Structure 1
Amino acid sequence: MNELAITVIGRDRPGIVADVAEVLARLGANLTDSTMTRLRGHFAMTLICVGPTSAAVEDALGPLTADGQLLATVREVRPDGEVASAGERYVMSVHGADRMGIVAAMTRAVTEAGGNVTDLSTRLAGTLYVVVAEVDLPAGASDALTGRLAQVAADLGVEVALRPADPDLL
């Protein structure tokens, strides 16, 4: 069996998730990880599955992309398995007036502290910009990072919070 990374993007419409999932199920592909969202009327889905060859999946997804409204890519990936976090999980939330560079500056501070961003979403609601990110930090790094994030946030004119992630929630 092959491990595949599949992306599907395009103008949102009802049924895309069901259509893709049905194609994969008919092929005997087991969906192991996935995420999907709507971004200002556009659909974006990324998933990992174990199943047939990438060519077989591309062919099977062909009818869904034939009208040009959706784009699907399929790529074989190396099955590395689940990588355990080397540190502690936190949630970083940022909100404030929209301006260029918020995501870049805040994630750079996390990286410089030895952290890794494992999930990130942003939303613009009027002039309010919101970032929510899950980050893995080295043990004991949160105090120093909290101070650094406060400095970066002050420079950007936004608010930031860093709190431990609840291990009982996905």
Structure 2
Amino acid sequence: MEASREDAPLRTSRSDLAITVIGKDRPGIVADVSEALARLGANLTDSTMTRLRGHFTWTLVCSGPGAAEVDAALGPLVAGGQLLATVREVGPEVEAAAAGEPHLMSVHGADRLGIVAAVTRVLAENGGNITDLTTRLTGPLYVLVAEVDLPAGTADAVAKRLAEVAGGLDVEVTLRRTEMDVL
């Protein structure tokens, strides 16, 4: 007996894809994109979505069919020009060595050029890895919040250097150790 198309097993050839979707915000974008991916059998594994000054932005990683198939499936959503979607294949996640000690850094003060560049340079020079970063401008107040992995034993030196840089920018900076969430 011949198997019907519906009974056929899922494709064994799967790709890891990075997808970005940006455009003017409106209700239903997440539902539209995730439904298109689900119809293809793409498994959404990691994502982050936010609104930036009325614009929707979503970055996601999924495992599924090839980039061309996903791009075609998203075609109707971008056809009107209100959304832009990019799809590219990425390699599988490589297990990293111990990432260091998790910290939360926050910066707030009057908005001025160079805040992000200055504080992230301190982190980079000390082997810090930013795992999440958010910034907001609310009137004249600029706020930055970042999750950072720092090499063991470097937090005090990093905090001292951040304080020096913050003083030159006339902003407040805090760095505190966080505990890893257990899911």
User: 1:91 — aligned with what?
Assistant: 104
| Alpha-carbon displacement from aligned partner over 1:91-134 (angstroms, at most 9, x marks no partner) | 10000000000000000000011111111000000000000001
1:63 aligns with 2:76: yes
Residue type of the alignment partner of 1:135: V
Give the Cα separation in 1 of the matches to 2:175 and 2:132: 14
Q: Cα RMSD over matched residues? A: 1.2
The Cα of 1:84 is off from its aligned counterpart by 4.9
Within 1, Cα distance between the matches of 2:111 and 2:142? 5
What amino acid sits opposite 1:114 in the alignment? G
Q: TM-score, normalised by structure 2?
A: 0.90
Letter in 1 for 2:43: N
Gaps of 5+ in 1: none
Task: Answer whether contact 1:98 1:127 (CA < 8 A) is retained.
Answer: yes
Instruction: Establish whether residue 139 from structure 1 lines up as the match of residue 165 from structure 2.
Output: no
Find runs of 4+ consecutive structure 1 residues off by over 2 angstroms: 80-86
What amino acid sits opposite 2:164 in the alignment? Answer: Q
Contiguous gaps of at least 5 residues in structure 2? 1-13
Q: Which residue of 169, 172, 176 maps to 1:156?
A: 169
Equivalent positions of 1:13-162 (< 5 A) are 13-162=26-175
Q: Which amino acid aligns with 2:101?
A: E
1:150 maps to amino acid:
A
Look up the equivalent residue of 1:63 and give its one-letter code.
P
Q: Aligned partners of 2:115, 2:182: CA distance in 1, in Å?
A: 27
What is the percentage of aligned positions where both structures have the same residue?
70
> Which amino acid counterpart does residue 36 of structure 1 have in structure 2?
M
* Aligned positions, number: 170
Question: Computing the radius of gyration over CA atoms, which structure comes out larger, 1 or 2?
Answer: 2
Q: Note the alpha carbon deviations across 1:26-72, whole angstroms, 9 max, x for none.
A: 10000010000000000000000000000000000000000000000
- What secondary structure is seen at the aligned counterpart in 2 of 1:68? coil
Aligned-pair CA distance for 1:80:
2.5
- Deviation at residue 165 of structure 1 after TM alignment: 2.0
Work out whether residues 97 and 158 of structure 1, in 8 Å CA contact, stay in contact via their aligned partners in 2.
yes
The TM-score with structure 1 as length reference comes to: 0.97
Given the alignment of the two structures, is residue 2 of structure 1 paired with residue 15 of structure 2, yes or no?
yes
